[in-house]
Amino acid sequence: MVLPESKDLTHLFSEETNARKPSPLKTCIHLFNDPNIIFLGGGLPMSDYFPWDNLTVDSPLPPFTKGIGAPIDPATNDVLKADLKKNEKLDEGDIPFARALQYGFSAGQPELLKFLREHTTIIHDLQYQDWDVVATTGNTNSWESTLRVFCNKGDVILAEAYSFSSSLAAAQAQGVITFPVPIDEHGIIPSKLANILDNWTPGAPKPKLLYTIPTGQNPTGSSLSDDRKEEIYKIAQKHDFIIIEDEPYYFLQVGKYIKDLKERSNVETEVKPSHEEFLKSLAKTFLSLDTEGRVIRMDSFSKVLAPGSRLGWITGSKRLLKAYVALHEMTIQAPAGFTQALVSSTLNKWGQSGYIDWLICLRHEYLLKRNHAIDALFKYIPESPVFTINPPIAGMFFTVNIDASAHPEFASKFHSDPLKVEQHIYETVVKNGVLVVPGIWFIADGETSPAQPKDSKEVSNPNIIFFRGTYAAVSPEKLDAGLKRLADVLKQEFGFN
Amino acid sequence: MVLPESKDLTHLFSEETNARKPSPLKTCIHLFNDPNIIFLGGGLPMSDYFPWDNLTVDSPLPPFTKGIGAPIDPATNDVLKADLKKNEKLDEGDIPFARALQYGFSAGQPELLKFLREHTTIIHDLQYQDWDVVATTGNTNSWESTLRVFCNKGDVILAEAYSFSSSLAAAQAQGVITFPVPIDEHGIIPSKLANILDNWTPGAPKPKLLYTIPTGQNPTGSSLSDDRKEEIYKIAQKHDFIIIEDEPYYFLQVGKYIKDLKERSNVETEVKPSHEEFLKSLAKTFLSLDTEGRVIRMDSFSKVLAPGSRLGWITGSKRLLKAYVALHEMTIQAPAGFTQALVSSTLNKWGQSGYIDWLICLRHEYLLKRNHAIDALFKYIPESPVFTINPPIAGMFFTVNIDASAHPEFASKFHSDPLKVEQHIYETVVKNGVLVVPGIWFIADGETSPAQPKDSKEVSNPNIIFFRGTYAAVSPEKLDAGLKRLADVLKQEFGFN
């Protein structure tokens, strides 16, 4: 079957993107490799002067039988040594330093991009022809670039009603309005989204983008179900906006929480899934549904390898990616050469199959962490309609919902304001030695001018507040102790002692 | 002597900077290291899962007696091996991977910043108290951040009449007007700058920034003399703008070109200068003159170590740097951890003294390159008032000025338009196998509304065109052959055969 070409969505570009002239220096860069031309055009230092050679690093060896957290001990057979040279390639996926540390390849080094394209094909099976990937310095960079590529001051974007605060803040500082879309425990509610757009106030600028974190959403921990993605994609087509799929937690899909320990032990000790089973178990992505290049997917190595790698990539139609590369030539130039060389070398030595092994093992670690956290929450927090524990099926975050109106002093002390209860509980848990984050820090509350109908922002129960915690960063013992402190405060405050 | 504090120049910030709210998540980050708090606040993966350890790399050993271009051969004694661990520091300047590859330290890792602060003190001897440095991903990033920190759409900045095209393009895409300042062979002409500002058209927005490349300017190759810097600084104080000192070529100060070979051989073979002599020989910087935090200096490792390191730093007042860090938390987060770890380790092992050795040797390489290029130009290009060879005293670039009106077909074929001659010569040199870049690619030609007086942009002879070449990137043989091809075209075109 011949796949279709992407649609031209460049009418959604920002004024800045449209004003960005191709640098005249780039018009002659193709002559750099012309053997008939002596190129005195660019200020490239000679690689002879780069003061590094013979870089070696140890990484664990697939299939990571001792687990991904095991120390990397070169005395064992479980270690793979990368050996990177300035002027030669010892291995197919290596990037010689003379190139990795030179200018050029704004979209990323070929060896790395090749791996990422293959990986993308395995995971998403794209439905149109002219897609590609561009390397970035991580999703913070990818999102900021996205805002610059598409949005003018005063433009509107849609976001989950609670979303990653730094992403919202980046938009707001640029004067972009972040309009909230109602969510429930399965993420964005398509009917509500359709309702917002079908009743969009005439004269208000229509949204250009939907910013969403479909898997293990930050902060709610929810995951958008596959059928909702299809509905949302259709709404995007109808109302001509682009879906920005921010997916740092995509591979942390740990599945449903099973409270019953016997039942669970079957799952936890079960043989490692085959690659096929693993791939089948993953959520459908917006990217895989996309037939017209209406989705920009942002992937990151931050949660999968290491945040300080400052490496991620964007997948989308070549038409749209062009604008990112032109912007990056004036911002990041390209991800750091050391990072590209080390990650490319490691991944290419692991191979696509070894990388899937890594992802399977990583997911298993987060499964144990998630279970440990939710077990502790159920153990310490009293069973009551006041508290709702939301076990996530993916990601790093859990939330606890609280009915603030159940606080004994809700009216008397807090003047029936749930946010005052939230702030009070936040301060009290910190005083008691645990930090969880109040939901209000993540609220998307932009409004257009003229404003949207009031019911667009309706919430079912305005007295429900929530706190976000993570099980990513600490040991099981600390996690347990922290959650007990949280529960003790909640019991104390809501009179459960 | 007690140094003064910087002046508050935050009134020059952009709307975006003023709108940027501190992320609420940052308000609790100090609790991360509080031993009494169990921090379930941030989605930080455990460093156990970072798949790298035992990174080693060879670098040359100070004082680099074999020259900085010698192969790095671990079999010799001239090699220094860095050995970086995930969880320990073998050396003072090392950054353990568990930290380098984690989130945090948006302004840069402490070990790297310490080295950069010490280096800055050695080179610039700052005249006010509250300065600091912030690590960036190179000067492309530093400049783009500078534009975002200070400029709104419609704002005006000043730039050398010919300046680095990518820097100009970054400003222009943001809707910032790049107003040209007349230059001669010593850079910006202070009297002309004063004249522009003293006669600034009422109603036009006044310039917020002066963007300048003082040393080995790109594209002209000129260097701004020390006394001019003092004059320009006073103008900046009078007219309340900030000086952005973009200095990637600062350490390539090769000194005056000496045509006479005998006289020169004394200089070239002269004993290596002492560190004191070297430091004394360097141009005074805007940063060293600055008594009130009115200078933002952008330094880069791109020309000194390697472009692909994607590492540089900004020096300025803490008041202004705060806005950069807040922006970077939403863009780059921080330079890549591998880069910071490797550069910090290398530089700290070399020490401040070893790094000065490196810079001395690097400068020597560029001295030879500069001399070779200028020798060839004088050899091949006929002595005539039509052609002016401009030997640079710093940097990577030389220019050849041409009086376009001397072209035999200036009136008949080119309608007395010097730019038509320029384009024709460009096309002809490329056809003849050498690429040099036409001056027009670098022109800063922004205009305010209402416009500035006509004489602001007056040039002494509008028929003078120029081409930029570089001696950085190619071997002496290729350079020689390329310059001969260029000269042959010029001779042919201007009837010198």
Assembly ipTM: 0.96
Report the C-alpha dihedral over residues A436, A165, B44, A354, rounded to 10 degrees.
Answer: 130
Which helix (H) or strand (E) segment is A147 a member of? helix A139-150
Contact A51 B330 (CB under 8 A): no
Residues of chain B in contact with residue A138, where contact means CB-CB under 8 angstroms, are: 333
| DSSP label of B437 | E
pLDDT at A497: 75
> According to the model, what pLDDT value does residue A447 have?
96
Nearest to B210 by CA among B227, B194, B226: B194
Paired with B297 in beta bridges are: B245, B315
The encoded tokens of residue B278 equal 């070297």
pLDDT at A25: 79
Hey, are the CB atoms on B165 and A50 less than 8 Å from each other? Answer: no
Rg (CA), chain A: 24
CA distance A232 to chain B (A): 27
- pLDDT < 50 positions in chain B: none
Reference A51, options B455, B359, B490, B493; nearest CA is: B359
Which chain A residues in 209-228 lie under 8 Å from chain B, judged by CB atoms?
Answer: 218
Using the Cβ of A482 and the Cβ atoms of chain B, whether some distance falls under 8 Å is answered with yes
> Cis (ω within 30 of 0) for the bond into B62?
no
pLDDT digit string, tens, across residues A261-283 = 988 887 766 678 999 999 999 99
SS3 label, residue A167: helix
Res A240 pLDDT > 70: yes
For B89, counting Cβ atoms within 10 Å of its Cβ (0-12 exposed, 13-18 middle, 19+ buried), the class is middle
Give me the residues of B, 89-118, that contact A with CB < 8 A: 97, 100-103
Q: Mutate which of B28, B338, B428 to test chain A, going by most A C-beta atoms within 10 A?
A: B338
* CA nearest to A23 within chain B: B166
A307 Cβ contact partners less than 8 Å away, ≥ 6 residues apart: A138, B44, B45, B101, B102, B103, B333
Contact of B397 with chain A, judged by CB distance below 8 Å, is answered with yes
Average pLDDT of A126-154? 98
Strand A156-160 to strand B183-184: parallel, antiparallel, or no bridges (unpaired)? unpaired
Instruction: List B398's β-bridge partners, or say none.
Output: B469
Optimal mutation site among B38, B330, B436, B445, interface A, most CBs of chain A within 10 A: B38
Q: pLDDT of B70-100, one tens digit each?
A: 999 999 889 999 999 999 999 999 999 999 9
**Closest Cα to residue B124, out of B316, B277, B273?**
B316
> A29 and A153 in contact (C-beta within 8 Å)?
no
Residue of A13, A30, A38, A153 to mutate when probing chain B, most B C-beta within 10 A = A38
- B311 has a chain A CB within 8 A of its CB: yes
Sheet holding B387-390, edge to edge: B387-390, B397-403, B464-470, B437-438
Do the Cβ atoms of A303 and A144 come closer than 8 Å? Answer: no
Under an 8 A CB cutoff, do A37 and B433 touch?
Answer: yes
**Percent of chain A's residues with pLDDT above 90:** 91
A189 within 8 A of A183, measured Cβ to Cβ? yes
Q: Which residues neighbour B41 within 8 Å (Cβ) at sequence distance 6 or greater?
A: A435, A436, A437, A469, A470, B25, B28, B29, B31, B32
3-class SS of residue A269 = helix
- Which of B51, B218, B334 is nearest residue A59 as measured by Cβ atoms? B51
**pLDDT average, residue stretch A397-424:** 98
Which tens digits make up the pLDDT trace of B135-178? 999 999 999 999 999 999 999 999 999 999 999 999 999 999 99
User: Quick check: A141 and B331 in contact, CB under 8 A?
Assistant: yes
- C-alpha B334/C-alpha A435 separation (Å) is 25
3-state secondary structure (DSSP) of residue B462: coil
Please compute Rg for chain B using Cα positions: 25
A269 min Cα distance to partner chain B (Å):
21
Question: If we measure between CA atoms, which residue out of B74, B72, B97 comes closest to residue B84?
Answer: B97
Contact yes or no for A156/A181 (Cβ under 8 A): no
User: Does the CB of B479 have a partner CB in chain A at under 8 Å?
Assistant: yes
**Which residue of chain A is at minimal alpha-carbon distance from B468?**
A41
Q: Is B446:B156 a contact under the CB 8 Å cutoff? A: yes
- Residue A362 near residue A305 (C-beta atoms within 8 A): no
A18/A327 Cα distance (integer angstroms): 11
Cis? peptide before B63, omega within 30° of 0:
yes
Tell me if A338 and B335 make a contact (CB, 8 A cut-off): no
Residue A458: what pLDDT? 80
Sign for the pseudo-dihedral over CA of A166, A170, A173, A176: negative
**CA of A20 to nearest chain B CA: how many angstroms apart?**
5
User: B374: which DSSP letter?
Assistant: H
Long-range contacts of A71-78 (CB under 8 A, 24+ apart): A71/B53, A72/B51, A72/B52, A72/B53, A72/B54, A72/B86, A74/B54
Which of B25, B50, B485 lies at the smallest CB-CB distance from A165? Answer: B25
DSSP A384-404: STTEEEE--SSSSEEEEEEEG
- A435·B44 Cβ contact <8 A: no
- Which of A440, A437, A444 is CA-nearest to residue A464? A440
| CB-CB neighbors (< 8 A) of A100 in chain B | 308
Q: Which two tokens stand for residue B230?
A: 């003092």
Answer whether A141 sits within 8 Å of B60, measured CB to CB: no
Averaged confidence pLDDT in chain A: 95
Query: How close does chain A come to B50, measured CA to CA in Å?
Result: 5
| Cβ-Cβ contacts under 8 Å, B306 against chain A | 45, 47, 49-52, 97, 101-102, 337
Provide the residue count of chain A. Answer: 497
pTM for the model stands at 0.97
Q: Would you state the pLDDT for residue B269? A: 67
Where are the strands (E) in B261-354, listed by range?
295-300, 312-317
Those of residues 234-293 in B touching chain A at CB distance below 8 A are none
- Give dist(CA A261, CA A13) in Å, integer: 52
Q: How far apart are CA B444 and CA A335, in angstroms?
A: 29
Which member of B24, B46, B436 has the closest CB to residue A40?
B436
Chain A residue with the nearest C-alpha to that of B32: A435
Within 8 A of B71 by CB-CB distance, chain A residues are 53
Beta-sheet pairing, B295-300 with B242-246: parallel
Tell me, yes or no, if A175 comes closer than 8 A to chain B by beta carbon: yes
Is A347 within 8 Å of A93 (Cβ atoms)?
A: yes
CB hemisphere CA count around B86 (13 angstroms):
20
- The pLDDT, as a whole number, for residue A269 is 67
Residue-by-residue DSSP string for B47-115? GGG---EEEEEEEEPTT-TT-TTS---TTSSSEEEEEE-SS--SSTT---HHHHTSS--TT--HHHHHH
d(CA B411, CA B414): 6
Q: Are B23 and B334 in contact (CB under 8 A)?
A: no
Site from A338, A374, A398 to mutate, B interface, most B CB atoms within 10 angstroms: A338
Mean pLDDT of A169-198: 97
In this complex, is the C-beta atom of A178 within 8 Å of any C-beta atom belonging to chain B? no
Q: CB distance from A38 to chain B under 8 Å? A: yes
A43 with B485: Cβ contact below 8 A = no
Tell whether B450 is within 8 A of chain A (Cβ).
no
C-alpha dihedral sign at A321, A324, A325, A326:
positive
Query: Shortest CB distance from B307 goes to which of A45, A54, A170?
Result: A45
Q: B75 touching A, CB under 8 A?
A: no
Nearest to B435 among A31, A54, A174 (CB): A31
Instruction: Residue B164: name the closest of B139, B134, B195, B189 by CA.
Output: B139
Is the separation of the CB atoms in A50 and B306 below 8 Å? Answer: yes
Residue B263 CB coordination number (10 Å): 9
Contact state of A40 with B169 under an 8 Å Cβ cutoff: no
In the stretch 128-147 of chain A, residues with CB closer than 8 A to chain B read 137-138, 140-141, 144
- Please tell me the distance from the alpha carbon of residue B162 to that of residue A7, in angstroms, as a whole number: 40
Distance between B159 CA and the closest CA of chain A, angstroms? 17
CA dist., res. A196 & res. A186, Å (int): 18
Chain A residues with beta carbon closer than 8 angstroms to that of B52: 57-59, 72, 306, 342, 346
Residues of B in contact with A102 (CB under 8 A): 306-308
CB contact under 8 A, A51 and B140: no
CB contact under 8 A, A307 and B434: no
Please check whether residue A359 touches B, CB under 8 A. no
- Distance, CA of B402 to CA of B422 (rounded, Å): 9
What pLDDT does B27 receive? 79
**Are the beta carbons of B470 and A42 separated by less than 8 Å?**
yes
